[in-house]
């Protein structure tokens, strides 16, 4: 490998990682977040027995609302609520961020909503 070695975040204890509740959810709706400083969507996700949760997500550069609806993704569901404008974000959709683009993490369609990721 040539060039600088990429930096790695500081180590965390396994218990810190295990405390994150990552779940599979299906996107029910996505609409533009009004008056956002950075373009974003308000996204509602179905997590099966956990119910539905909303998130705000900066996905507008790579995804239209129509492309997002029905897509299964992975999200962290146990972060504290975060107020974003008029909306309260209750989960964090996970993605690989590269050069200003977001590749959403996904799972095979046979995985039920609400399934925990370990």
Strands (DSSP E) along the chain, which ranges? 22-32, 41-46, 52-57, 72-76, 82-84, 87-89, 92-93, 95-98, 101-104, 116-117
Identify the pLDDT of residue 5.
72
> What global pTM score does this model have?
0.90
Identify the pLDDT of residue 109.
82
Band of pLDDT at residue 102, cut at 50, 70 and 90: very high
Helix or strand (DSSP H, E) at 18? helix 14-18
Band of pLDDT at residue 1, cut at 50, 70 and 90: low
State the Cα–Cα distance between residues 109 and 117, nearest whole angstrom. 14
> What are the pLDDT digits (tens) for 12-24?
999 999 999 999 9
Cβ(44)–Cβ(65) under 8 Å?
no
Cβ(66)–Cβ(8) under 8 Å?
no
Segments making up each domain of the chain, as ranges? 20-109
DSSP assignment of 51-74, as one string?
-EEEEEE--TTT--HHHHTT-EEE
Helix-then-strand count for the chain, H and E = 2, 10
Identify the pLDDT of residue 46.
98
Give the CATH number of domain 20-109; options: 3.40.50.880, 3.40.50.970, 2.40.50.140, 3.40.50.300.
2.40.50.140
């Amino acid at each position: 490998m040539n060039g600088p070695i990429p930096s790695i975040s500081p180590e965390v204890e396994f218990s810190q990682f295990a405390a994150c509740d990552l779940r599979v959810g299906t996107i029910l709706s996505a609409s533009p977040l009004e008056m956002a400083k950075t373009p974003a969507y308000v996204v509602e996700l179905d997590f099966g027995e956990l119910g539905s949760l909303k998130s705000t997500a900066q996905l507008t550069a790579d995804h239209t609302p129509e492309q997002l609806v029905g897509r299964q993704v992975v999200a962290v569901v146990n972060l504290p609520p975060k107020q974003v404008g008029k909306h309260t974000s209750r989960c964090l959709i996970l993605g690989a961020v590269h050069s200003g683009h977001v590749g959403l993490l996904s799972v095979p369609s046979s995985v039920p909503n609400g399934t925990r990721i370990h």
